[in-house]
Structure 1
Amino acid sequence: MNSARISELLKTRPKTSLYWGLYLASSDQRTTPDLGIAVAKKLAKRAVDRNRLKRMIREIVRSAQATSLNSDVVVKLKKPIGRETRGRLRKKEKQILRTQIVGLI
């Protein structure tokens, strides 16, 4: 997905939860749906956590696209993670983030 398409999607009204913003737009029928992920360095300090979140999001969205979701998607982290754990993403918080994103899709 190119940056122009991502900017276009970010102008639409998102579905939101506490931590996530999910931007959806219908894709062309002749192309496969695209995915954009935005996890800012300010919100997830450690590269390990940013990469883990991106993998988790890819897994969830791809499974949703395989079953029912047939649109372009941009997922954006809105709030910082790991406030209680010195900026590190722990298992409990990871489960909370996963359930929130599944609830949006």
Structure 2
Amino acid sequence: MNSARISELLKTRPKTSLFWGLYLASSNPEAKPDLGIAVAKKLAKRAVDRNRLKRMIRELVRGAQATKLNGDVVVKLKKPIGRETRGRLRKAEKEVLRAQITGLI
């Protein structure tokens, strides 16, 4: 997905939870659905955590695209993670983030 398409989707009204924003595009039957993920360095300091979150989001959205979602999707992290765990994403926090993104989809 190119940056112009992501910018266009970010202008739409998101479905939100505490940490996530989910931006959906209208379905286009002839085009393959795309996925954009925005996890800013300011919000997740460690590259390991950013990559782990991106993998988790890809897994959840691909499963949902097979059943429910049929348009372009952009998922954006809105709040910093790891405040209580000295900047590191721990298992309990990861499960909370997974539950929130699953609830949005």
Q: Normalised by the shorter chain, which TM-score bucket?
A: over 0.9
Secondary structure of the structure 1 residue equivalent to 2:64: helix
Offset, 1:28: 1.9
After the TM superposition, which residues 1-105 of structure 1 pair with which residues of structure 2 at under 5 Å, given as runs? 1-105=1-105
CA distance in 2, matches of 1:35, 1:27: 13
Offset, 1:27: 3.4
Q: What amino acid maps onto 2:48 in structure 1?
A: V
CA distance in 1, matches of 2:61, 2:68: 10
Q: Identity across aligned pairs (percent)? A: 86
CA distance in 2, matches of 1:87, 1:27: 37
Secondary structure of the structure 2 residue equivalent to 1:41: coil
Offset, 1:26: 1.5
- Report the TM-score when normalising by structure 2: 0.98
Q: What amino acid maps onto 1:12 in structure 2?
A: T
Secondary structure of the structure 1 residue equivalent to 2:72: strand
Secondary structure of the structure 1 residue equivalent to 2:62: helix
User: 1:58-100 deviations in whole A, cap 9, x for unaligned?
Assistant: 0000000011211110000000000000000000000000000
- Report the TM-score when normalising by structure 1: 0.98
Structure 2 gaps of 5+ residues are: none
Secondary structure of the structure 1 residue equivalent to 2:52: helix
How many corresponding residue pairs? 105
CA distance in 1, matches of 2:46, 2:87: 7
Q: What amino acid maps onto 2:10 in structure 1?
A: L
Aligned Cα root-mean-square deviation (Å): 0.6
Offset, 1:2: 0.5
Structure 1 gaps of 5+ residues are: none
